[in-house]
Amino acid sequence: MQAARFFRAAIGAATIGAGPWAMAGLGPAGAAVPAAAPAVASGCVAVKGTGPGYNVTVGLAQNGETVCLTVGEKVLVWLSTSVSSKVRWAPPRVSPPGILVPAALTLMLPRNVTAENFLAERAGLVQVSSERRACPPPTPGSASCGAILGWQVRLLVRAVARPIG
């Protein structure tokens, strides 16, 4: 009985009270809970977009960071390799679904770039990730290195501030 109570308390603390999900004002399964404004404001960095129609652009330089944006803004994910590389980044994956939705990509991409455009549809914390092979495909009869490179960024989508009154 005591062990079960301890286990429930530990699970509750892990899912509600700690980590970036709590900073975003989210509880279990994305349920909204109050969050202190200073913690949210200091938990992410602002990144500018690369051009008209792109409010935020994230790429290799933002790997591992938490980036801020606001509901209604567009975020461009831009992952590139060297022009001579024979490997590309996989299409970005978003988790959890529903915070970002795919938006039209209106750019002509170089062949060494994987890109995706998203619209921030509602507030929350979302992880965007991708991976690619670290080595080129092996030539016939040779061994493959099998190493995988990972990339991930957390996007903290904040609600639009509305004036009171």
pLDDT in tens, 26-64: 333 333 333 333 334 558 999 998 888 889 999 999 999
Q: What angle is formed at CA 127 by the lines to CA 40 and CA 83, rounded to 5 degrees?
A: 120
User: The sheet that has 45-46: what strands, in order across it?
Assistant: 45-46, 66-70, 148-158, 124-133, 93-95
Does residue 33 share a domain with residue 93? no
Full-model pTM: 0.70
Domain range for 17 is 1-42
Please answer whether residues 86 and 106 qualify as being in contact, where contact means their C-beta atoms are separated by less than 8 angstroms. no
Does residue 145 share a domain with residue 66? yes
Please answer whether residues 118 and 74 qualify as being in contact, where contact means their C-beta atoms are separated by less than 8 angstroms. yes
Coil vs helix vs strand at 9: helix
164 in any annotated domain: no
Tell me how many domains the chain contains. Answer: 2
Residues 122 and 111: their CA atoms lie apart, in Å, by 32
